[in-house]
Amino acid sequence: MTIVEANRLFENSMEFPDYEAQMRLDRLIGLENYKLRLTKMLSVLINPRSMEKWVNKFHGDHYEVLEPILSRPPLIVLAGDVGSGKTALAENISDKVARLNDIGVTMLPLSLSSRGQGRVGEMTQLVSNAFQQTKELAKKYKSETGKSRGAVILLIDEADALAQSRESDQMHHEDRAGVNAFIRGIDSLASEGLPVAVIMCTNRLDALDPAVKRRAAEILPFKRPNEEQRNSVLEQTLAPFGLDSSTISKLAGVTGQSNARKYGFSFSDITQRLVPAIILDAYPNKAVTKERALEVAMSIQPTPPFGGVVDEQ
């Protein structure tokens, strides 16, 4: 494959560990449980030998108990509303995985341009090439001892644009062939036991092809933050301004559901819209105050849920 073809398939490939990614991951407040679960799942998929050590330490040599976990396809789906933090987590979690397993991890973000232009056979060929290149790189990291020398993570954002359900009557033949190629690619990665994992992010889990969802080792649902999570995010991001706990609690309350709307602020609504708005309201001639912080919060409307789906909190 030429460099031009590779650049067409993948955008901004990254090598981990990476200090900047570590910092970005630390700034994803309120997602600690997701970080832990995703790190464990990816570690098992790319370095299954780690589970053998665990079972030997705590449960003797009953390695057969690992079969249900280690036989799963190396696919994880992160599903949830816009602004829930799933894509930011997917883009940076490789740093934590690399440090935990003491290996280098290469992330290959699949470009949406790999859908092609609709010409016969184009999408199928592009998807097949993406998986082939992923496999070729992962083979370099496979070890005879079973311990991975490195790993590859294929990241697919807006996955429903690539692996939408083939059950739709309106689906174009070329799109259907591309989904078939995607499923073959996942099955191929699973059969060769390579140190590789695929992360798919989607706002529309119901739009993914059922066969793709069946192959997922895990489907992690992301929801908008509840009041406790909003309180935690606000407390940490507004800490330098000396707002008391009562004010933080009030902010957490007004950014939640109300009689006027059935949804609260997303993580990105808080970190990328509300907090900057509070700061800029005070800049450059006055300090941030609790009164104005609350007024600013009540003046901002959260981003509507994607497709009208509401996560009740």
Instruction: Tell me the per-residue pLDDT of 245-270, one tens digit each, with 9 for 90 and over.
Output: 999 999 999 999 988 899 999 999 99
Determine the Cα–Cα distance for residues 252 and 271; give it in Å rounded to an integer: 13
DSSP-assigned states of every residue in 114-138: GGTTS-TTHHHHHHHHHHHHHHHHH
pLDDT at 18 over 70: yes
User: pLDDT confidence of 313, banded at 50, 70, 90?
Assistant: very low
What average pLDDT does range 189-194 have in this prediction?
A: 90
- The percent of residues above 70 in pLDDT, for the chain, comes to 91
| 66-94 as b/e: b if 16+ CB within 10 A | beeeeebbbbbbbbbbbbbbbbbbbbbbb
Give the distance from CA 218 to its chain's centroid: 12
Rounded-to-integer distance, Cα 215 and Cα 88, Å: 23
| Residue 44 neighbours by CB distance under 10 Å | 20
Would you state the pLDDT for residue 175?
Answer: 79
With 50 as the cut, is the pLDDT of residue 62 above it?
Answer: yes
pLDDT at 88 over 70: yes
**Residues forming beta bridges with residue 15, ordered by sequence position:** 106
Average pLDDT over residues 132-157: 88
Residue 220 reports pLDDT greater than 70: yes
Please state which of the ranges 1-15, 17-31, 160-174, 275-289 shows the lowest mean pLDDT: 1-15
Residue 27, CA atoms < 13 Å, CB-side half-sphere = 14
**pLDDT exceeds cutoff 80 at 65:** yes
Query: Is residue 213 over pLDDT 80?
Result: yes
More confident residue, 66 or 36: 36
The mean-pLDDT minimum among 153-157, 159-163, 211-215, 268-272 falls in 159-163
Reading the block at residue 13, the tokens are: 């490939």
Q: Is the whole-model pTM more than 0.85?
A: yes
User: For residue 90, what pLDDT is reported?
Assistant: 97
Q: At what angle do helices 32-46 and 49-59 cross, to 10 degrees?
A: 100
Complete domains list, the chain, with CATH: 3-222 (3.40.50.300), 227-308 (no CATH)
Residues 270-275, mean pLDDT to the nearest whole number: 96
The angle at the Cα of 229, spanning 228 to 233, to the nearest 5 degrees, equals 120
Among 4-18, 22-36, 52-66, 248-262, whose mean pLDDT is lowest?
4-18
pLDDT tens column, 104-139: 999 999 876 655 555 546 778 888 999 999 999 999
Share of the chain above pLDDT 90, in %: 65
**What phi, psi does 201 have (nearest 5°)?**
-115, 135
CA–CA separation, 68 and 218 (whole Å): 13
User: What is d(CA 264, CA 303) in angstroms, rounded to the nearest whole number?
Assistant: 9
